[in-house]
């Protein structure tokens, strides 16, 4: 990995800002190699070669379609299960598939403290309590952290029948071209393009890297800003201190806007321990920085059943109403 690879990875978002909705790294399917080449200063052919290399190394191993939980009247919450031994993490990721409502889990190392961070849906406090109790039974350690709310910007429009059909096709075929999606749904390419862009822009759904992708060697820096200091000033200073800094968007870290305003969050290359320690020292030396918390992703797992069942039920209702 080099600076160009990291720049290309960052450019998979149209505005260059990393987002994690439901803890998944979003990528925009509309971003072309030509757009990336203009941002990173590499030829279009060179970008394609780099993207192919990242794919072959497993970092861009396919796409998955995320669905906004607000479409089903639910929100996300997150809990952490402490991990004592590596085999505990592997077993937990398998067992989480049995807990209804769990949608995603990430194995993390946070300042030498390892845990499985579990994301699950909830529509009522009682539902949260039930699922949290199930997670507590799975925990090999006595303490379960959370649950805490995980904020995702809600979808800002009501979907039509055609929108739901297109969403269903996109969910089933996340790597399909617009022409293929149009053919699957039985509509024109122009209609498919217009509807598809509206689904993405309204946050009804999004494209994310497949859970089978390897974790890119990055450390998440969560930087607490001192009271009275403008986070934007700190963010600019941090970006200047780290050439490969990948800023995380304010709406992309699971925090409501009022809380996200007190943090500066981004990703820093973590291949070389010495370089990472140097990056940490540079960050702590920036005026206005209170402290820095580092998190490393070790692996992840997706559990699509809850969303698949609700989407299938919605499509069935629409067909029944149409009949």
User: pLDDT at position 140, please?
Assistant: 65
How much is the average pLDDT of 147-160? 93
SS3 269: strand
What local confidence, expressed as pLDDT, does residue 273 receive? 87
Q: Give percent above pLDDT 70 in the chain.
A: 99
Confidence band (pLDDT; 50, 70, 90) for 121? very high
Q: Which of 36-45, 136-145, 200-209, 237-246 has the least mean pLDDT?
A: 136-145
- Taking residue 245's Cβ as centre, other Cβ atoms within 10 Å add up to 20
3-class DSSP string for 115-174:
EEEEEEEECCHHHHHHHHHHHHHHCCCCCCEEEEEECCCCCCCCCCHHHHHHHHHHHHCC
The arithmetic mean of pLDDT across residues 77-95, rounded, is 89
For residue 322, pLDDT beyond 80: no
Distance between CA atoms of residues 153 and 20, nearest Å: 11
Mean pLDDT of 274-282: 91
Sign of CA dihedral 265, 217, 92, 301: positive
Q: How far apart are CA 293 and CA 305, in angstroms?
A: 33
Looking at residue 78, its pLDDT comes to 95
> What is the percentage of the chain residues whose pLDDT exceeds 90?
60
The length of the chain in residues reads 323
Cα 116 to the center of its chain, rounded Å: 16
Predicted confidence band at 142 (pLDDT cuts at 50, 70, 90)? low
What separation in angstroms does the CA of 317 have from each of 163, 206, 311, 313?
14, 23, 10, 6
* CA 33 – CA 30 distance, rounded (Å): 10
How far apart are the C-alpha atoms of 21 and 67, rounded to whole Å? 10
Query: Does residue 258 register a pLDDT over 80?
Result: yes
137-146 average pLDDT score = 78
Structural element, H or E, at residue 260: helix 257-260
pLDDT tier at 323, thresholds 50, 70, 90: low
Is the Cβ–Cβ distance between 24 and 208 less than 8 Å?
Answer: yes
> Span 272-285, mean pLDDT?
91
Do 27 and 12 form a contact (C-beta atoms < 8 A)? yes
Mean pLDDT check: name the lowest of 220-224, 251-255, 259-263: 259-263
Q: What is the mean pLDDT of residues 252-277?
A: 88
Residue 260: pLDDT band with limits 50, 70, 90? confident
pLDDT of residue 238 exceeding 80, the answer is yes
Instruction: Give the pLDDT confidence of 173-191 residue by residue, as tens digits.
Output: 998 999 999 999 999 999 9
Mean pLDDT, rounded, for 110-120: 89
The DSSP line for 183-211 is HHHT--HHHHHHHHHHHHHTTSEEEEE-T
Q: What is the pLDDT of residue 153?
A: 94
Distance CA 201, CA 193 (A): 12
Across all residues in the chain, what is the average pLDDT? 90
- Residue 14 in this model has a pLDDT that exceeds 80: no
Reported confidence tier of residue 141, pLDDT bands at 50, 70, 90: low
**Structure confidence at residue 247 as a pLDDT band (50, 70, 90):** very high
């Amino acid at each position: 990995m080099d600076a160009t690879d990291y720049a290309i990875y960052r450019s998979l978002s149209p505005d260059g800002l990393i987002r994690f909705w439901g803890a998944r790294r979003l990528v925009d399917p509309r971003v072309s190699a030509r757009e990336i080449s203009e941002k990173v200063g590499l030829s279009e052919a060179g970008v394609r070669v780099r993207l192919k290399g990242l794919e072959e190394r497993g970092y861009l191993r396919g796409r998955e379609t995320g669905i906004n939980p607000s479409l089903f009247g639910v929100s996300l919450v997150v809990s952490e299960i402490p991990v004592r031994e590596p085999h505990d993490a592997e077993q937990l990721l398998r067992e989480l598939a049995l807990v209804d409502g769990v949608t995603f889990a990430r194995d993390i190392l946070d300042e030498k403290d390892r845990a499985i961070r579990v994301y699950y849906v909830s529509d009522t406090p009682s539902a949260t309590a039930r699922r949290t109790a199930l997670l507590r039974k799975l925990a090999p350690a006595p303490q379960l952290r959370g649950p805490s709310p995980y904020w995702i910007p809600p979808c800002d429009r009501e979907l039509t029948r055609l929108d739901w059909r297109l969403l269903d096709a996109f969910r089933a075929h996340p790597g399909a071209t617009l022409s293929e999606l149009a053919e699957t749904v039985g509509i024109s390419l122009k209609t498919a393009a217009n509807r598809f862009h509206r689904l993405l822009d309204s946050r009804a759904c999004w494209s994310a890297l497949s859970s089978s992708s390897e974790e890119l060697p990055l450390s998440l820096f969560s930087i607490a800003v001192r009271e009275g200091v403008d986070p934007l000033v700190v963010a600019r200073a941090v970006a200047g201190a780290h050439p490969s800094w990948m800023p995380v968007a304010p709406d992309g870290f699971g925090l409501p806007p009022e809380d996200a305003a007190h943090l500066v969050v981004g990703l820093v290359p973590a291949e070389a321990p010495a370089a990472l320690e140097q990056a940490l020292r540079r960050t702590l030396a920036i005026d206005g920085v209170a402290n820095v918390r580092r998190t490393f992703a070790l692996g992840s797992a997706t559990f699509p059943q809850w969303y698949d069942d609700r989407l299938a039920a919605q499509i069935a209702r629409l067909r029944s109403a149409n009949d």
